[in-house]
Amino acid sequence: MDELDRSARVLVAGSGGLVGSAVVRALESAGFTDVVGARSAQVDLRDADAAREFVTATAPAVVVDAAARVGGIAANNARPVEFLHDNLRIQANLLDAAHAADTGRVLFLGSSCIYPKFAEQPIREDSLLTGPLEATNDAYAVAKIAGIMGVQSYRREYGRRWISAMPTNLYGPGDNFDLESSHVLPALIRKFHEAARDGSEQVVVWGTGTPRREFLHVDDLAAACVHLLEAYDDPAPINVGTGQDVTIAELASAVARTVGFTGEIVYDTSRPDGTPRKVLDVSKIEATGWKPTIGLAEGLASTYRWYLDNIVVEAGT
């Protein structure tokens, strides 16, 4: 594939979020000079007319779809209607608008939760649709699967060179640290920080601590996005991850060390664990020449610094 024109306009949908803001940084670092963001305050991508008007007026050569309603186990389990309908609308409207604007390259970002709950580990891309989903986030997963099919359908019917990438669990600067709606890693950072600050003797962590998870720094994902736009052109989704996993207990201990908490870690086994293990097979993306560069210890330290400088400072705590 040819290198993308660095002066071509690139639209990043969801540019105010964890992933979108990182993609903007990565594109600019790679020399792209016309990067346009689309935040929810600018355009409601759930509105088909608004989405088409915004995208056609922007006229991008490339679109990266990092726009989504996202949340952790509790949020997904409690509000499946919103997670299903909002994401279906966002994706369908953005793809329709990109087609109307004759956008040559679209990168749709899904999630590793699209794979079956008991998929063979590490999870290969061809595991998709081979078994039942994890019940706590099945609505979100189905929406993301529909996004993959949307990309494949535009390729098949219109010959679009659009692609899909499936990142593993993400974290990094700009993450959501709200305890009700965040994912596990930022929630743990906040819990352990507040416990250390308050001199608490223990921190309660959801579940048994035994599930295994893979974590990818969002800046690594963003670098992979730029790489894939120039190195990948296939209807099949491609995994983006580290290929390495840790138990939730190991993660909790690592976060405790990072923030300086020395008390007891207690596991609330009445809370759901979710999928027992989830680590991606990343051989396909590695074959294109990409690998992550940010280790978990380094990533945790930099994410905690961002949390201190932005969330804690703003809250005055």
Q: Could you tell me if 184 and 139 are in contact, meaning their C-beta atoms sit under 8 angstroms apart?
A: no
Q: Is 241 annotated as a binding residue?
A: no
Binding residue per annotation — 183? yes
* 206 assigned binding-site residue: yes
CA angle 32, 38, 43 (to 5 degrees): 155
62 confidence band (pLDDT: 50, 70, 90): very high
To the query of whether residue 140 is one of the catalytic residues in this protein, the response is yes
119 class by beta-carbon count within 10 Å (0-12 exposed, 13-18 middle, 19+ buried): buried
H helices present in 165-265, as ranges: 184-198, 218-231, 248-259
Catalytic, out of 115, 140, 154, 307: 140
CATH of domain 9-171+215-240: 3.40.50.720
Do 9-171+215-240 and 184-212+246-279+294-315 have matching folds? no
Note the CATH number of domain 184-212+246-279+294-315.
3.90.25.10
Percent over 70 (pLDDT), the chain: 98
User: Residue 185 is which amino acid?
Assistant: L
Domain ranges in the chain are 9-171+215-240, 184-212+246-279+294-315
Instruction: Please give the pLDDT value at position 95.
Output: 98
Residue-wise pLDDT for 25-61, tens only, equals 999 999 999 999 999 889 999 999 999 999 999 999 9
pTM assigned to the model: 0.94
Question: Is 172 part of any known ligand binding site?
Answer: no
